């Protein structure tokens, strides 16, 4: 039977946050603990990518590896722990503590349905403009744009091939697309916010206190 393995990326230094944000506490649990739990609920195995100085003391995972100097390098480190028999690899950022297991399942199902990659996407509420310095040079058609999240799922061979170049990107789907792979979009979750600054954590704390179903 084919397997889906998750790589939870938790190796960042948290420069904009002021400390490694993945270990910040939200509602009694660290962000990374929440991410690992969601991944474990939907995937057959979890590889956790950590800073070199951190020893994992949370929920049991299949493997831990040391991350690299960039996000892409950390994903490549995680891939070294994924066996050749895995057919789907899901990459998730530990800084997204509200990703639900159902979102993992949705992207996995899309890849098993034939896509090389699947990402959760949200339509944009704001008008988006491209600027050079303080000058607007183009207003982009909003109906053609989506903001993407993690978890992102990949056909394992496509993800490995995309990372062989050693290139860096803000998400792994961009690397797969650069190699000619087909990425599909599944509905994202507006609560699946990414924690980047202390202000983001305060907003997430308010979300965490909302009763289920109130959103």
Q: Indicate the pTM of the whole model.
A: 0.93
Helix residue ranges, H only, 52-146: 71-79, 101-112
* Structural domains of the chain sorted by starting position, each given as residue range(s) with its CATH number in brackets: 4-119+149-209 (3.90.550.10)
178-201 pLDDT, tens digit each: 999 999 999 999 999 999 989 999
The set of residues, in sequence order, having a beta carbon less than 8 Å from that of 213 and lying 6+ positions away, is none
Q: Which two tokens stand for residue 16?
A: 């904009």
Q: Which two tokens stand for residue 71?
A: 């996000």
Q: What integer pLDDT is reported at residue 214 of this predicted model?
A: 43
At 44, phi and psi to the nearest 5? -75, -25
Q: What integer pLDDT is reported at residue 49 of this predicted model?
A: 98
Q: Grade residue 211 by pLDDT with cuts at 50, 70 and 90.
A: low
34-64 pLDDT, tens digit each: 999 999 999 999 999 999 999 999 999 999 9
């Amino acid at each position: 039977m084919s397997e889906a393995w998750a790589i939870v990326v938790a190796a960042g230094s948290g420069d904009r946050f002021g400390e490694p944000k993945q270990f910040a506490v939200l509602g009694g649990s660290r962000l990374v603990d929440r991410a690992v739990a969601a991944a474990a609920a939907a995937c057959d195995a979890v590889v956790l990518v950590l800073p070199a100085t951190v020893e994992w003391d949370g929920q049991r995972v299949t493997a831990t590896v040391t991350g690299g100097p960039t996000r892409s390098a950390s994903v490549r480190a995680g891939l070294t722990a994924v066996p050749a028999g895995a057919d789907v690899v899901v990459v998730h950022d530990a800084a997204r503590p509200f990703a639900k297991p159902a979102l993992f399942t949705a992207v996995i199902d899309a890849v098993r349905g034939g896509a090389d990659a699947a990402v959760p996407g949200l339509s944009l509420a704001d008008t988006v403009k491209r600027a050079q310095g303080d000058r607007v040079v183009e207003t982009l058609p909003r109906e053609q744009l989506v903001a993407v999240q993690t978890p992102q799922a990949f056909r394992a061979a496509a993800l490995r091939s995309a990372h062989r170049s050693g290139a860096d990107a803000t998400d792994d789907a961009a690397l797969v697309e650069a190699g000619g792979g087909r990425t599909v979009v599944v509905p994202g979750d507006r609560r699946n916010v990414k924690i980047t600054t202390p202000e983001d954590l305060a907003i997430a704390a308010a979300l965490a206190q909302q009763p289920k179903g109130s959103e």
